[in-house]
A = this chain, B = another copy of it.
Amino acid sequence: MTRRTGRRPGKPGTREALLDAARTAFAERGFDAASIRAIAGTAEVDPALVHHYFGSKDQLFLAAMNFPVDPGQLVPKVLAGDRDAVGERLVRTFLGIWDSPVGGAAQALLRSAVSNEWTARLLREFVTTQVLRRVLENLDVDPAELPLRGSLVATQMIGLAMMRHVVRLEPVASADPETLVAMIGPTIQRYLTGPLPS
């Protein structure tokens, strides 16, 4: 018997439902292929409301990507502990993010970055300025080596995400996280603190 005396300006959950549906759709199909109609459909909302709430498809994407993961909070956790195991901790944290609900947004970003230039730019800038820069500037490596080390780490991390969550190549796709940590951790460690060739 919910008596509704005051006015109810639309269901309050529609905006969140829209964001949820958008995250899933972008994750599964990428930016271009995910359609506003389909997103509104799974959210059981009229497609026109998307424009009413977010203005455009681009802004819907940005709103959906604005996920609750704070690199500034995560990075210290990775750096805590001995320096020789930072690689393993980075892989473990990385896998944790992808296997969590937030992973949908990450998958959306990765999938979209392949077919869409401005989302690729988004991914590039997020990786470099938000993650790698933060990690590396706390590891007292030569600043001149920072970009190369960072992008090497990115090749392995993005490749791992691609194979595990996008292309789904077995057995990596369903491997135990700790197996991957044990195998890939040393790789990251060497890229971060190992010797460089030049």
- A151 interfacial contact with B, CB 8 Å: yes
Pick from A124, A155, A170, A171 the residue with the most CB of B within 10 Å: A155
- A113 interfacial contact with B, CB 8 Å: yes
A105-141 vs B, CB cutoff 8 Å, 1 = contact: the mask equals: 0000001011100001001100110000000000000
- A162 interfacial contact with B, CB 8 Å: yes
* Interface-lining segment among A7-15, A41-49, A62-70, A176-184: A176-184
- For A196, list chain B residues within 8 Å (CB): 183
Instruction: Tell me, rounded to whole Å, the shortest Cβ–Cβ distance linking A192 to chain B.
Output: 12
| Identity of the chain B residue whose Cβ is nearest the Cβ of A115 in the assembled complex | B30
| Identity of the chain B residue whose Cβ is nearest the Cβ of A123 in the assembled complex | B167
Tally of contact residues, A, Cβ under 8 A: 48
- A193 interfacial contact with B, CB 8 Å: no
Q: Which residues in chain A, 137-163, are within 8 Å of chain B measured between CB atoms? A: 147-148, 151-152, 154-160, 162-163
A128–B32 CA distance with the chains assembled, in angstroms = 29
A128–B167 CA distance with the chains assembled, in angstroms = 12
- A166 interfacial contact with B, CB 8 Å: yes
Q: Which of B128, B154, B178, B184 makes the CB contact (< 8 A) with A155?
A: B184
Given contacts A32-B115, A179-B198, contact A169 B151 (CB under 8 A): yes
Pick from A162, A168, A175 the residue with the most CB of B within 10 Å: A162
- A93 interfacial contact with B, CB 8 Å: no
Q: Which of B159, B163, B167, B197 makes the CB contact (< 8 A) with A160?
A: B159
- A172 interfacial contact with B, CB 8 Å: yes
Q: Which of B30, B156, B159, B187 makes the CB contact (< 8 A) with A114?
A: B30
Contacts from A to B (Cβ < 8 Å): 29-30, 32-33, 111, 113-115, 120, 123-124, 127-128, 147-148, 151-152, 154-160, 162-164, 166-173, 175, 178-179, 182-184, 186-187, 190-191, 196-198
